[in-house]
Homo-oligomer: A and B are copies of this chain.
């Protein structure tokens, strides 16, 4: 599906998405036109879905990260889902199988802010909150086999 060159291209763009085509071509050992065509096709195929910027949560003042498992009370599922969506500190939320229905990642500035946010859900769902102590594996791509 992806050959070695495609993987080199993705690796390079992962490290710096703003690299010029010329530099990228040198890195992967192809000419500029071929490299350009490769990138175009990776986008066309949907393998590359976009180019984006990474922010530092700490630099933005979000010193705390929490993982919250959320089990809506009977009949409250949609209300809870809306509430999650409207809480901008929820940076990611998955609907999952099992006893818990949702699992969400929150960025907060302080424990008191976390408490505040959880209070808003308290009468609509059972929650189970864990504080993130460290990140043994930071966001990375899966194998590009």
Chain A residues with CB under 8 Å of chain B are: 1-2, 10, 13-18, 45-62, 65, 67, 81, 84-85, 88-98, 100, 102-104, 107, 128, 130-145
Contact = CB atoms under 8 A, between A and B. Distances in A.
A138 to B, nearest CB: 7
Contacts of A133: 94-97
A62 B142 contact: yes
A142 B88 contact: yes
Contacts of A104: 137
Given A52-B13, A52-B14, A131-B97, A92 B140 contact: yes
Contact of A139 (B13, B84, B91, B140): B91
Contact of A92 (B56, B139, B143): B139
B54 A89 contact: no
Contact of A143 (B1, B88, B95, B97): B88
Nearest to A87: B137
Given A13-B53, A107-B142, A142-B60, A130 B97 contact: yes
